[in-house]
Amino acid sequence: MSAATPSPELEPLSVLAARVGATLRERRQTVAVAESSAGGLVSAALLAIPGASAFFLGGAVVYSRRAGKALLGLTREDIGDMRGETEPYARFIAARIRDSHRATWGICESGAAGPSGSPYGDAPGHVCVAVAGAVTASRTLETGDTDRPANMDVFARQLLALFDETLRTQDTSA
- With respect to residue 90, please indicate whether it lies within any of the assigned structural domains: yes
The residues that bridge with 112 in the sheet, in sequence order, are 126
Per-residue pLDDT at 120: 86
145 near 111, Cβ under 8 Å? no
Write out pLDDT tens, residues 133-155.
999 999 999 999 999 999 999 99
Looking at the structure of the chain, the number of domains it has is 1
**What is the reported pLDDT for 52?**
98
Task: Identify whether the C-beta of residue 155 lies closer than 8 Å to the C-beta of residue 162.
Answer: no
CA distance 53 to 140: 30
Decide if 96 contacts 137 (C-beta within 8 A): no
Assess if residue 92 is contained within a domain: yes
* Domain presence at residue 70: yes
- Overall average pLDDT of the 23-45 stretch: 98
4 within a domain of the structure (yes/no): no
Question: What's the domain range around 19?
Answer: 13-169
What does the alpha-carbon distance between residue 129 and residue 144 come to, in Å, rounded to a whole number? 16
The DSSP call for residue 11 is P
Q: Is residue 8 part of a domain?
A: no
Q: Is residue 20 part of a domain?
A: yes
pLDDT tens sequence across 81-138: 899 899 999 999 999 999 999 999 999 999 999 999 998 899 999 999 999 999 999 9
**Is residue 75 scored above 80 in pLDDT?**
yes
Structural domain contains residue 28: yes
CA distance 120 to 170: 34
In a domain, 6, yes or no: no
pTM here is: 0.92
How far is residue 4's CA from residue 115's CA, in Å, rounded to a whole number? 20
Q: What is the CATH number of the domain that holds 82?
A: 3.90.950.20
User: Comparing C-alpha atoms, which of 168, 170, 9, 163 is closest to residue 90?
Assistant: 163
pLDDT at 4 over 80: no
According to the model, what pLDDT value does residue 1 have? 36
Closest CA to 6 of 153, 149, 170: 153
